[in-house]
Structure 1
Amino acid sequence: MSQPDGGADDPSPSPCLSPPPPPVAWPEDGALTREWVAGLTATLDWCSRSLPADRLPDVLPAALVQRLVLAASVILHREPNLVRVDPRPDQAVVVVGDVHGQLHDVIFLLQDAGFPSDDRIFVFNGDYVDRGAWGLETFLLLLAWKVLLPNSVFLLRGNHESKYCTSVYGFEQEVNFKYKGQGPQVYRKFLRCFEDLPLATIIAGCVYTAHGGIFRGTIVMPSKRTKKGKKGNKYKANSTVDPTLMKLGSLDELLKARRTVLDPPWEGSNLIPGDVLWSDPSLEMGLSSNKERGIGLLWGPDITQQFLYTNNLKLIIRSHEGPDARDKRHDLLGMDSGYTIDHHVECGKLITLFSAPDYPQFQASEDRYNNCGAYIVLNPPDFATPVFHSFEAVKPRPKANPYYDFEDVIDSDEELNLGAMDDGSASS
């Protein structure tokens, strides 16, 4: 089997060309600075190129990792499911799609777009981990930016920020390999952080962003009343939600959804997060179950028009589909440039944005997609005219081994093994 570019005929990294940096320490005064984040970036880059992966704790101690994850989790937990991002007239907003552990491409993207600052807001649309070899480092870097600039960096959840996906697509194995005996404890900290990630943003009142996209409303069936006998309340209403009945959800329902659920199946009050993270657009009109994935929705241009019109919006920016997924979607455009415009309706557009170039890092087929990644800049005053920036992968990638069996695992999340979840396992 041929190796992908930047693959691993030799699993060891290239020899150290310079002395290892000192272990990263939390600032004495407890406050992160731009210099500290820049130093962390340089250290992570150096480690990926010059240090065996299981030596990462020598430079990035587990205690430091857990402290950074906890600090970010505290901030994320305070944010609502639907975050209102209201830039000033002199601020631009950068929207980023899936990055999937491709650390060096993320470092380039931040440099190319202009780092987060008081003048430049970033919205990341999920899928920070899995598939790539540096999911841990990638997510930590973005968490550091969030802690440094909580009002200029917004991190949304993707479908891969879950226990199910990370056990199948490599992130759990990556953390356990890099941190050995402390791996399970560190991994649990990441899972708790995933629960705190918001689900969507509305930017400047006119742009909706979410990883998968649109969601159905909850249709509550008639209540059954059972005896309760507590505090004088003789009965308790047990209402149910029928996921097969389809109507477009409201932003108010999104705000009230329970986002702490980590894994499918999403039912009842958990139905909306499942849709937001897993749904896909279609050229077929209406709402329907996403049978290919086994979770979420398919929605057509008429639903995009309805969602934009009802909520007085002009754009939907979602992610979730890379070149491998689009290779199987003959009804929609490919992902060669890192973005597609899937619906163009009277009220505006639906855009799919993917920011991991030359993806996936590891794959079984001989032909690589060699796709570009992309990010979007939304400029004042209207913020509704997307400026697309495509970019190629940083090459050569440092040598690395995959943390999942990419020959046996499905390539594009096109289906979900809910039976495996019921059994408490996670296999494809």
Structure 2
Amino acid sequence: MPNKKESDTTVSSLPSDESNPTISSTIASTEYSKGNKPLSSAPVQIPISYPEDGMLTVEWIQDLTLTFDWSSRNLPPSEFPSVFPVDVFDTLVLTASKILHKEPNCVVIDDFDQDSRVVVVGDVHGQLHDVLFLLRDAGFPSKNCFFVFNGDYVDRGAWGLETFLLLLAWKVFLPHRVYLLRGNHESKYCTSVYGFEKEVMAKYGDKGKHAYRKCLGCFEGLPLASLIGKHVFTAHGGLFRSVSHAPSKKPKGKKKNKVVFNPETNPLSLGSFHELAKARRSVLDPPWNPQLSSNLIPGDLLWSDPSMKLGLSENTERGIGLLWGPDSTEEFLKKFSLKLIIRSHEGPDARQKRPDLAGMDNGYTIDHDVESGMCITLFSAPDYPQFQATEERFRNKGAYIVLKPPKFDIPDFNVFEAVTPRPDVNPFYDFKNAIDSDEELELASMGPST
């Protein structure tokens, strides 16, 4: 059975790290305030510079954390280059991109010992201060503390850039302990609608287009899923279809550049890890032709939703991905000897429109509880969205999951509230007129990403 507890109001003790004994003592000694309150107003030195030897340290990440927190409260967005110069941005993003692009579509995380634990995090959507609280509440990444972030780092919140850069820094510092998966908002289309593109432009000015393109390139390298131990599968949206029966071909002759798609003649079926491994994840946006099999699997992994209706079906509400029922959860778990599916993708706004499923008041729901295990939705952005058109806010809590030995297959739910006070900022998108969830995106208007 899953375990549930409210987060403590004190800084979590950190596991030791034999390879870097300072990782616990240095961060733990920082004068953080107790509970989900702002970090202390410790003096910061700006601008941040990249280490001359190219090696990040825990002290550098600590300085970056405090500096981003301070600048978010004291400087306008246009002053961001004075905090994090574009040359430092370029170095960090390039270094992280090289690591990410070398990882497989589904990362396997199993380098555990008896003291290891894994923290799984859902959507954070640019809510920097809640991410800072989560990191210190869960215990920072270290040799024995793994982190798996399940996507949607940017959009809607005002600090998507700082959030993404901080997590990239942790990835560069501990590449085999921090895993960053892609969410549906790590795409060209979503970031042009929900604020991240405008945020980057506002923060980097005449270098904004350059910085935004670099972020898109980094998004392309983000893996699509993870296997934790032998029994836990995570992906931002969820399950995916088999595409082995939907090949495409190019005809010969004058029309050789035109792709002809063979219609799917077989009913939908669940995909395999072999198919997942071969998927083309470099395509950022969903398929603009729904029968193009090369990126159907990424589209499913990033956009699909669980349902209480049995079977697999096209996700017509979103216009992309699948809906899958508890029978499909059971089939997937049993076929691959799994116990848990941990997905994210749905906040309180989306769940408000789906009365057949539980709401997101506490940052997580158990959507399917079947013979072989469970399907869980995890959402880590409390009081979401930061900007909201309705007068009554959802005031949801956020959550993260801790998995522990010996099998890492029993979820320990940790629920937390939003950090207060949140700095006053202007939104980077038209939140009053923007749709409240991703369910109605006009995906037909999309063209190939550039």
Would you say same fold, with TM above 0.5? yes
2:132 aligns with 107
Residues 216 and 61 (structure 1 numbering): CA distance in 2 closer, same or farther, change over 3 Å? Answer: same
2:282 aligns with 260
Distance in structure 2 (CA, Å) of the matches to 1:31 and 1:424: 33
2:334 aligns with 309
1:422: Cα distance to partner? 3.9
1:59: Cα distance to partner? 1.3
1:201: Cα distance to partner? 0.3
1:166 aligns with 191
Kept in 1: contact 2:246–2:293 (CA 8 A): no
Kept in 2: contact 1:243–1:268 (CA 8 A): no
Any idea what the Cα deviations from partners look like across 1:233-265, whole Å, max 9, x if unmatched? Answer: xxxx97746398411111110011000001122
TM-score normalised by the chain length of structure 2: 0.86
1:20: Cα distance to partner? 6.2
1:175 aligns with 200
- 1:383 partner amino acid: F
Give the secondary structure class of the aligned counterpart of 1:298: strand
Any idea what the Cα deviations from partners look like across 1:275-317, whole Å, max 9, x if unmatched? Answer: 0000000000000011111110000000000000011100000
Q: Which residue among 275, 288, 309 is the counterpart of 2:300?
A: 275
1:420: Cα distance to partner? 2.1
1:269: Cα distance to partner? 1.1
Residues 392 and 109 (structure 1 numbering): CA distance in 2 closer, same or farther, change over 3 Å? Answer: same
Kept in 1: contact 2:383–2:397 (CA 8 A): yes
Residues 225 and 194 (structure 1 numbering): CA distance in 2 closer, same or farther, change over 3 Å? Answer: closer
1:299 aligns with 324
- 2:173 partner amino acid: L
1:220: Cα distance to partner? 2.9
2:426 aligns with 401
Any idea what the Cα deviations from partners look like across 1:64-100, whole Å, max 9, x if unmatched? Answer: 1121111100000110001100041321000000000
Q: Where in structure 2 are the equivalents of 1:20-169 lying within 5 Å?
A: 21-90=45-114, 91-169=116-194
- 2:275 partner amino acid: E
Give the secondary structure class of the aligned counterpart of 1:272: helix
2:271 aligns with 249
Kept in 1: contact 2:131–2:163 (CA 8 A): yes
Kept in 1: contact 2:188–2:449 (CA 8 A): no
- 1:83 partner amino acid: V
Residues 225 and 115 (structure 1 numbering): CA distance in 2 closer, same or farther, change over 3 Å? Answer: closer
Percent same amino acid among aligned pairs? 64
1:409: Cα distance to partner? 1.0
Distance in structure 2 (CA, Å) of the matches to 1:210 and 1:150: 19
1:416: Cα distance to partner? 2.1
Distance in structure 2 (CA, Å) of the matches to 1:317 and 1:246: 22
Distance in structure 2 (CA, Å) of the matches to 1:151 and 1:245: 39
Give the secondary structure class of the aligned counterpart of 1:220: coil
Kept in 2: contact 1:219–1:245 (CA 8 A): no
Kept in 2: contact 1:172–1:187 (CA 8 A): yes
Distance in structure 1 (CA, Å) of the matches to 2:449 and 2:406: 50
Kept in 1: contact 2:147–2:178 (CA 8 A): yes
Q: CA RMSD in A?
A: 2.2
TM-score normalised by the chain length of structure 1: 0.90
Distance in structure 2 (CA, Å) of the matches to 1:56 and 1:195: 25
Kept in 2: contact 1:218–1:241 (CA 8 A): no
Distance in structure 1 (CA, Å) of the matches to 2:86 and 2:67: 15
Give the secondary structure class of the aligned counterpart of 2:91: helix
Give the secondary structure class of the aligned counterpart of 1:414: helix
Distance in structure 2 (CA, Å) of the matches to 1:262 and 1:342: 28
1:121: Cα distance to partner? 0.2
1:63: Cα distance to partner? 1.2
Distance in structure 1 (CA, Å) of the matches to 2:248 and 2:283: 24
- 1:58 partner amino acid: S
Any idea what the Cα deviations from partners look like across 1:106-147, whole Å, max 9, x if unmatched? Answer: 000000000000010000000000000000000000000000
Kept in 1: contact 2:285–2:449 (CA 8 A): no
Moved more, 401-410 or 19-28: 19-28
Distance in structure 1 (CA, Å) of the matches to 2:248 and 2:190: 34
1:28: Cα distance to partner? 1.1
1:162: Cα distance to partner? 0.1
Kept in 2: contact 1:220–1:239 (CA 8 A): no
Give the secondary structure class of the aligned counterpart of 2:425: coil
Distance in structure 2 (CA, Å) of the matches to 1:295 and 1:352: 19
Give the secondary structure class of the aligned counterpart of 2:440: coil
Distance in structure 2 (CA, Å) of the matches to 1:293 and 1:398: 33
1:344 aligns with 369
1:5 aligns with none
